[in-house]
Amino acid sequence: MLFCLRLVLGAGESVAYPSYSKILAGNFREQQRGFANAAVDAGSKIGPAIGVTVGGLLMGRLGWRVLFLGIGGASLQWLIPWHIWAPKDQALVREEMGKVPSLAEICSKRSAWGTFLGLF
């Protein structure tokens, strides 16, 4: 069961980098995209490293409940600056791209499974 759930998590995470690329392409000039992409990539590597270190120290000192509530509270606090500074309607204009592929169509692609397994 753990294996299957981790595979599903990998499938969900597989959309992260293409989504970041779409957001960066729609909101940054070409000259700024390299730095913006590097910041996203660095954050995706440094964040878990700091989180494991600080989380382990907090859990060892205060227990898992404090860490659980702290992470939940910090996640909700992020909504405030995101709501203030998030791009409004610029990159969110929907383009006519035809029909959206179904989950079955996505799962039938070999490249999708490569991404799922790579992130797994």
How many structural domains is the chain composed of?
Answer: 1
Q: What's the number of CA atoms in the CB half-sphere (13 Å) around residue 28?
A: 15
Strand locations in 1-120, DSSP E? none
pTM of the model: 0.54
Which uninterrupted H or E stretch holds 96?
none
Q: For residue 54, give both structure tokens.
A: 């600080």
pLDDT in tens, 29-86: 889 989 998 999 899 899 889 989 999 999 999 999 999 998 889 889 988 988 888 8
Q: Which residue, 86, 79, 90, is CA-closest to 26?
A: 90
Residue ranges making up the domain that contains 54:
2-119
Amino acid at 77: Q
